[in-house]
Chain A
Amino acid sequence: MKLPSRKLFIPYFPMGYPTIETSIDVIEALAKNGADIIEIGMSFSDPLADGPVIQQATQTALEQGITLEKTLESIAILRDRGVITPLVLMGYYNPLLAYGLDRFMKRCRQLQIVGLIIPDLPIEESGELRAELEDIPLIQMIAPTTPNDRIAELAPTAGGFIYLVSITGITGSGNSFSSALPNLIAAIRTHTSLPICIGFGINSTQKAKEMGSMADGVIVGSHLIREIGSSPAPAMAAAALARQFRAALDH
């Protein structure tokens, strides 16, 4: 991925929440109202890198009958509706293994998926999946705890964008971003020209603006789920939120 001309707005939303049909509408609304890339959540029973909001949303999605197969079918529906926004899939490794890595990657290519985020798959364990990736990048996470020598190892071989974790913690938590962020960004930049996008804990347009001024884009998950999930008209709420974040990042 090349450096963008505008700050990237990357919403995360789990397919199947609050229902499968509604999640398709929500993602379509995000796509049509300013999202540059959409990160679609593939639900897992044991999401150990996620905070309570995403835990509950993905649990609800599972109760609604979402499966990896249905997630992929729902993406096909989005493509049929004319959604051409680049899509990234985020999920834990076990459901992919159960589905079959080669079969999964074949479907990803059919659906023009542009990247995968697998939070429990560090580079050391990724060989088996990398063998099936072909041109779809495995997006690398870098955390405030990642030392410089490891950044030097991770960043040059990364693809898509760099997912910079803003806090030492889980998704949706905390108010204080790591004070190490500017130095981390500088360190990553010496090793890669990929966009650097910041995620975890961005729960307002102000924070998005603040993070966007440091990096190339922001990933917003728990905040959107909370707002969209509590709205009587989820797709309309998604459209309004996307426009707000778009405006905050553009001005």
Chain B
Amino acid sequence: MKTLLPSKFGLYGGQFVPETLIPALIELEKAYVESETDSQFQVEFANALRDFVGRPTPITFAARLTQACGGARIYLKREDLCHTGAHKINNALGQALLAKRMGKNRVVAETGAGQHGVASATVSALLGLECIVYMGEVDIARQHPNVNRMKLLGATVVPVASGTKTLKDAINEAIRDWVTNVGTTHYLLGSALGPHPYPTMVRRYQSVIGSEATQQIQQITGRNPDALVACVGGGSNSIGIFSGFLTSPEVKIFGVEAGGSGVASGKHAARFGDPSKGRVGVIHGTRTYVLQNADGQIEDTHSISAGLDYAAIGPEHSMLRDAQRVTYTNVTDDEALEAFGVLCRLEGIIPALESSHAVAFAMKLAPAMRPDQTILINLSGRGDKDLDTILAIKANQP
């Protein structure tokens, strides 16, 4: 069966799924393609982004951070100000509207940090859908406030005890549910991952970040930024903002992976940062770079940030890396924590630990740039959910 849209990004992507799911992917792609030219659907999505999510989100000049770094002017795209506190709601809303259009009244979602789970629970409440969220037991322990939020919003949170008990295993379990209930259920995948059409569809729903940002930064600074920085777990906030600037060659684009305890320690989630383990493979329906051992078993990952703690990266990022359009780098847990504290104290913004990775890299980049240059950071989410993690670390410090 030929897909309606390209199913691959160069060598990457595709539809590596059990036969049971193939008809569901065909149905989903068809519904997505139709919805893209359905003006009523597009108006409904745009209105909900404005009236419910609170878009457009602003761009904030980080004056004191800029001063402290002593170089390029630093701007923040404020996805932390979205309803539910992160960019995840843009995609969740788009897919939930699509699920409703397909007549599917039950959605399943995976979540790592809990942000996508909260976003899915929220849009399900808004649209009257049944919502089941799969979450690894390790993540439930470190992101407990989000578990409570999901439950308040009427979702069922299913703890996942298999494998490493994190995001990867939650995705396995969500796919198993989808395989079993495919007639009634839409899989509301939260990142630019998985089989086609997900990476394309999720980028489209997150591209609102990039299209707003291109206009806003022009209005504020009169030109494109010199550097654009976003953190990359699966890669949805990053592909969302990158999509606005990929065809502007003057913009240097940086994707920041989770360096964990340092790439050399082996405890990290830097798919591009560790060539000994990060190799092209097939996981969760897509061909992409994935951390694996010599036998092709998927490796355990580590990051202080649950949202970046994932062994694979969205397939479009693999293509952008090969094409050298985006430079992928990583920062450690400690560097992200440092940046978290700096942004709190200098800007009055509590960033998510995921987003703190982007801030940490920008803080390295800025001093090497001129004061007439600019950096735009995608501040993908707010950090309220991380307070337990942060306070536990502080309590353990001498």
Indicate whether A and B interact: yes
Q: Is B23 an interface residue (CB 8 A)?
A: yes
Verify A48–B23 contact, CB threshold 8 A.
no
Contacts A98-B279, A125-B14, A170-B176 given; indicate if A45 touches B163 (C-beta within 8 A): yes
- Is A142 engaged at the interface, CB distance under 8 Å to the other chain? yes
A163: min CB distance to chain B, Å:
9
Whether B180 and A48, one on each chain, are in contact in the complex, defined by CB atoms closer than 8 angstroms, is no
Question: Given A94-B298, A120-B282: A146 and B172 within 8 A (CB)?
Answer: no
A47 cross-chain contacts in B, Cβ below 8 A = 172
Instruction: Tell me the chain B residues, 279-307 only, with Cβ under 8 Å from chain A.
Output: 279-285, 290, 292, 294-298
Instruction: Please encode chain B, from 159 to 175, with 1 for each CB lying within 8 Å of some chain A CB and 0 for all others.
Output: 00011000011001001
Assembled-state Cα–Cα distance A131/B200 (Å) = 29
Q: Taking the complex as formed, is A222 at the interface, i.e. its CB lies under 8 A from any CB of chain B?
A: no
A46 contact from B21, B168, B294, Cβ within 8 A: B168
- B17 touching A120, Cβ below 8 Å: yes
- In the bound complex, how far is the Cα of B169 from the Cα of A59, in angstroms? 13
Size bracket, chain A contacts: 35 or more
B: interface residue count bin: 35 or more
Given A122-B15, A125-B16, A153-B1, A46 and B298 contact (CB-CB distance below 8 Å): yes
Contact residues of A between 31 and 62, Cβ < 8 Å to B: 44-49, 51-52, 55, 59, 62
- Whether B182 sits at the interface, judged by CB under 8 Å, is yes
Q: Flag whether B69 is at the interface (Cβ < 8 A).
A: no
Contact of B296 among A95, A143, A153 (CB under 8 A): A95
B296 touches A48 (CB 8 A): no
Are A98 and B294 neighbours in the complex by a CB distance under 8 Å? yes
Query: How many angstroms from the CA of A62 to the CA of B24 in the assembled complex?
Result: 32
Q: How far is the CA of A125 from the CA of B285 in the complex (A)?
A: 10
Residue B183 lies at the interface, judged by CB distance under 8 Å to chain A: yes
Query: Closest residue of chain A to B8, judged by CB?
Result: A125
Does B372 have its Cβ within 8 Å of any Cβ on chain A? no
Is the CB–CB distance between A146 and B23 below 8 Å? yes
Q: Which residue of A lies closest to B180 (CB)?
A: A169
Contact check, A168 vs B176: say whether CB atoms are below 8 A apart.
Answer: no
Instruction: Judge whether A95 and B1 touch: CB under 8 Å.
Output: no
CB distance from A206 to the nearest CB of B (A): 23
B175 CB contact (under 8 Å) in A48, A52, A69, A121:
A48
Q: When the two chains form the complex, which single residue of A68, A124, A168 contacts B180, counting CB atoms closer than 8 Å?
A: A168
Contact of B176 among A48, A122, A142 (CB under 8 A): A48
Q: Does A150 contact B (CB under 8 A)?
A: yes
A48 and B312 CA atoms in complex are apart in Å by 15
Q: Which residues of B are found within 8 Å of A51, using beta-carbon distances?
A: 176
CB-defined contacts of A120 to chain B, threshold 8 Å: 16-18, 282, 285
With A93-B282, A145-B182 known as contacts, the answer to whether A45 contacts B23 (CB < 8 A) is no
Please determine whether A45 and B297 come into contact, CB atoms closer than 8 angstroms: yes
B residues in contact (CB < 8 Å) with A? 1, 7, 14-24, 162-163, 168-169, 172, 175-176, 179-183, 279-285, 290, 292, 294-298
Closest 7 CB pairs of A and B: A98-B296, A95-B296, A143-B20, A169-B180, A67-B295, A45-B297, A141-B19
Chain A residues in the interface with B (C-beta under 8 A): 44-49, 51-52, 55, 59, 62, 67-69, 92-99, 119-122, 124-125, 140-147, 150, 153, 165, 168-170, 173-174
- 15 additional A-B pairs beyond A140-B19, A169-B179, beta carbons within 8 Å, are A45-B163, A45-B298, A46-B283, A49-B176, A67-B295, A68-B295, A94-B283, A95-B295, A95-B296, A96-B296, A98-B281, A98-B292, A120-B282, A122-B22, A143-B20
What would be 13 A-B contacts, judged by CB atoms less than 8 Å apart?
A44-B297, A45-B297, A46-B283, A48-B172, A48-B284, A94-B296, A97-B282, A97-B296, A98-B279, A122-B15, A124-B15, A145-B24, A168-B181
